Chains A and B, each alone.
Chain A
Amino acid sequence: MRKLLLITLLFNTLLFGAGAIEGEIQRQPLNISAIIMFLIFVAGTLGITYWASKQTKTASDFYTAGGGITGFQNGMAIAGDYMSAASFLGISGLVYLAGYDGLIYSIGFLVGWPIILFLIAERLRNLGKYTFADVAAYRLKQEPIRILAASGSIATVILYLIAQMVGSGKLIELLFGLPYEWAVVLVGTLMILYVTFGGMLATTWVQIIKAVLLLSGATFMAVMVMSQFGFSFEALFTKAVEVHPEGESIMSPGGLVSDPISAISLGVALMFGTAGLPHILMRFFTVNDAKEARKSVFYATGFIGYFYILTFIIGFGAIVLVLNHPEYLDLAKQAVSGGTPILGGKNMAAIHLSHAVGGDLFLGFISAVAFATILAVVSGLTLAGATAVSHDLYANVFEKDKCDEAKEMKVSKIATVILGIIAIGLGIAFEKQNIAFVVGLAFAIAASANFPVLFLSMFWSKLTTKGAVIGGSLGLATAIALVILGPIVWVQIFGYEEAIFPYKYPALFSVSVAFISIWFFSITDKSSSAQDEIDAYEAQNIRSQTGIGAEGAVAH
C-alpha cells in the first residue's frame, strides 16, 4: 500500500510537474566541468543563432525556417522537443524507484505519435502556414477561431514555461551548484536571444544539437551499464532484483495505474494532448511538404522510442550502480528518514549513474546536457507562443487587413521578449510553489481546447464556427475547472480534506465535453454562414488530401 501511494504521488509529479524537479533542493558544490561544458554548448548555439539570423529575413523564415527543414532534421527536432529533462531524469528516476512502472509511463507518451502520423501530420502540413490556427480557421470565421486557438496556445505555452523555468532553477542548484535565480534569468535571456535573432532556424538547430548530445550520452550510459553484465538483460535484472528493496516486484506492474477511469483518462491526455501542443504542431510547418512531414514523425517516433528504451536500461543500471553505494547517499536525509535516499532525490539517479560509469568528466557532460535540454524546450515554446500573438492575434484579428509582414515580424519579436520576461518573472514567483499541476493542466488544455477544434475542422464537414467556438471554450473551461477541483490543486494546494472532482486526469471528461458540445452547437447552427462553411469543406478536404494549393517551401 505504501508503495502504491508513493508511486501515485511520484507519477503525479512526473506528469504534472514534467520539467520540474520537485520539492526542497539542497544546493550542491560547484561543478566546474559541467559549467564549462554548458558554456561550450551556449557558445556553439549562439554561433548558430548568429548564422541563422543572417538567413532569417521574411516572416516565413522566422516562423518556420522558410519550410526548408528536412524530414530527418525535423524528426530529430521533434524528438528534442519531446525528450525534455523531465523525460530523461524523471523516467529513469521512476524506473530506479519502481522498476517496470517507468516503462508504462514511457509507452503512454510514445503511442500518440503513430496516431499523429496516420491522421494529422500530412493534413496539417497541407492546410497550414505558420500555426495550427491557420488550419482550424481555414473555412471558418477567422477572428473568433483565431482568438480561441491563440488563447489555447498561449495558455499551454505559459503553463509549460513555468514548469520548465522552475525545473531549470532547481537543476542548476543540483547540477552546477549555482543559485536558483541565475538559472531562471540565464535561461530566459538565452531563449530570447535564440528566438528573436535566429527564429525557427536557430530554435530547430538548438533542438537538434541537444537531441544528438542527449541520445549519445544516454547511449553511452546504457552501453556501459550493459557491458558490466556481459550484455545480458537477465544478468542485469537479476542483480537489480537482488539489491532493490522491493525485490522481484520491480519486474512487474505496481500501483501506477490503479483504476480504469484514471487509466483511460491518462491515455486520452497523453495522446490528444500531444496532438494539441502548439510548439509540436508548429514543427510540421517547418518542412517542405506532406512527404517530409510524414518522414519527420517516422524518425521522431524512432528516436523517442529508442530513447525510452535507453532510460529503462539507465534506471535499472542506477538500481545496481547507485542504490546502496555510499558515495551517492544523502546521509543527512538518511539519518532522519532511514532507507537509502540518494543526493538530490530520485530524479538524480541518472546523473549519479553518469558519474558511476564515466567519472567526473562524464558527470559534467550529462549535467550540461540536462540543462541544455531545458533551454532548447523553452525556446520552442516561446516561439510558438510569440507566433500565436503576432500571427493569429495581431495580424489576423487586431490589425486585420492593414498589417504587413515586416510589422508582423516586429510584433512577434516584441512578443518573444515579453514572453521571456513573463517566464523569468513566473519562474522566480513559483520557486517555492507547488507546481505539480501545471504541465498536467497544459496537457489537459491542449487535449480539450486545441485538439478537438483542430481535429474536427479537418475531419468533419459539418463543423461550424459557432460549434467550434462554444465547444472549444467549454472544453477549455472544463479542463481548468476540473484541474482546480481535482485532488492536486483542491487537496494538496488548497488543503481541503477531499477533492470535489475525484480524478487527477480530467482529460477523458473535458475532451468529451468539447467534442459533444462542438457537435451539438454545430448541427443546431442553421445560419446561412454555417451553410457556407459546410460547403467549403469539399475544397478544404481536397487540399488537405493532395496538397494542391498548399504553401510551398521558400528555397534558400
Chain B
Amino acid sequence: MTQNIVEQIKNNPDYQKLVKTRSKFAWTLSIIMLVLYYAFIMVIAFKPELLGMKTGMGVMTIGIPVGIAIIIIAFVLTGIYVKRANGEFDTLTQNIKKSIEDVA
C-alpha cells in the first residue's frame, strides 16, 4: 500500500465512519459480555445463595435459567454483531474499496 493510498483512505469519510461506528459497536458488545460474565462470577464468589434461590414450588433455582441465559445471550450477541457487520459495515468497506479502484 503506497503512502498516497493510505492518505486517501484515511481521509475517506466512509472509512472514518466505518472505524468509528464499528469500534464503538464492537467494544460495547464486548463490554456487555464481560460485565455479564464477571457479574455472574462475582455473585458465585461472594453471594452464591442468590443463585440458589428457588423460583417456585419445585427444586428449580434461579441459577439454572440465569446460566442457560448467559449461554444464549453470548450466541445472540454474536448474531447481532454479524447481522450489522454483514450489512452496514460491509457496505462501507465496499465503498472504500471502490473509491480506491476508481482512482487507480
- A543 at the binding interface (Cβ < 8 Å): yes
Contact A267:B38 (CB < 8 A) given known A107-B70, A252-B49, A256-B44: yes
B75 to chain A, nearest CB (A): 5
Indicate if the CB atoms of A260 and B42 lie closer than 8 Å.
yes
Chain A residues, Cβ within 8 Å of B46: 260
Indicate if the CB atoms of A291 and B42 lie closer than 8 Å.
no
Indicate if the CB atoms of A118 and B30 lie closer than 8 Å.
yes
- Chain A residues with a Cβ closer than 8 Å to the other chain, count: 54
Q: Given the complex of chains A and B, what is the CA–CA distance between A257 and B79 in angstroms?
A: 30
Q: Out of B44, B64, B93, which one reaches A547, CB within 8 Å?
A: B93
Contact A237:B60 (CB < 8 A) given known A263-B45, A294-B82, A545-B18: yes
Q: Out of B6, B75, B90, which one reaches A538, CB within 8 Å?
A: B6
| B79-92 Cβ-contact flags toward A at 8 Å (1 or 0) | 10110011000100
Chain B residues, Cβ within 8 Å of A113: 74, 78
- Write the chain A residue with the least CB distance to B83: A298
Q: Given the complex of chains A and B, what is the CA–CA distance between A110 and B67 in angstroms?
A: 12
- A308 at the binding interface (Cβ < 8 Å): yes
Q: Given the complex of chains A and B, what is the CA–CA distance between A348 and B13 in angstroms?
A: 59
- Chain B residues with a Cβ closer than 8 Å to the other chain, count: 52
Q: Given the complex of chains A and B, what is the CA–CA distance between A252 and B68 in angstroms?
A: 13
Indicate if the CB atoms of B37 and A253 lie closer than 8 Å.
no
Chain A residues, Cβ within 8 Å of B51: 100, 252-253
Indicate if the CB atoms of A548 and B1 lie closer than 8 Å.
yes
Interface centre among A111, A238, A254, A295 (most CB of B within 10 A): A111
Contact A253:B29 (CB < 8 A) given known A237-B58, A237-B60, A545-B19: no
Contact A267:B41 (CB < 8 A) given known A115-B30, A291-B90: yes
- A114 at the binding interface (Cβ < 8 Å): yes
Indicate if the CB atoms of A253 and B74 lie closer than 8 Å.
no
Chain A residues, Cβ within 8 Å of B93: 545-547
Indicate if the CB atoms of B82 and A548 lie closer than 8 Å.
no
Indicate if the CB atoms of A104 and B44 lie closer than 8 Å.
yes
Q: Given the complex of chains A and B, what is the CA–CA distance between A37 and B48 in angstroms?
A: 44
Contact A253:B81 (CB < 8 A) given known A238-B59, A301-B75: no
Indicate if the CB atoms of A251 and B61 lie closer than 8 Å.
yes
A298 to chain B, nearest CB (A): 5
- Write the chain A residue with the least CB distance to B67: A103
Q: Given the complex of chains A and B, what is the CA–CA distance between A539 and B36 in angstroms?
A: 35
22 A–B contacts, CB within 8 A, in A order: A100-B51, A104-B41, A107-B37, A107-B71, A111-B36, A111-B74, A113-B78, A233-B64, A237-B60, A251-B59, A251-B60, A252-B63, A256-B44, A264-B41, A267-B41, A298-B78, A298-B79, A302-B75, A305-B75, A545-B18, A548-B9, A548-B100
The 10 closest A-B pairs by CB, nearest first: A252-B52, A253-B48, A118-B26, A103-B67, A251-B61, A305-B71, A111-B37, A298-B82, A253-B44, A298-B78
Extra contacts besides A291-B85, A548-B1 (18): CB < 8 Å: A107-B70, A107-B71, A114-B78, A115-B30, A118-B29, A237-B64, A263-B42, A263-B44, A267-B41, A291-B90, A294-B81, A294-B82, A297-B78, A301-B75, A309-B71, A539-B6, A545-B15, A548-B9
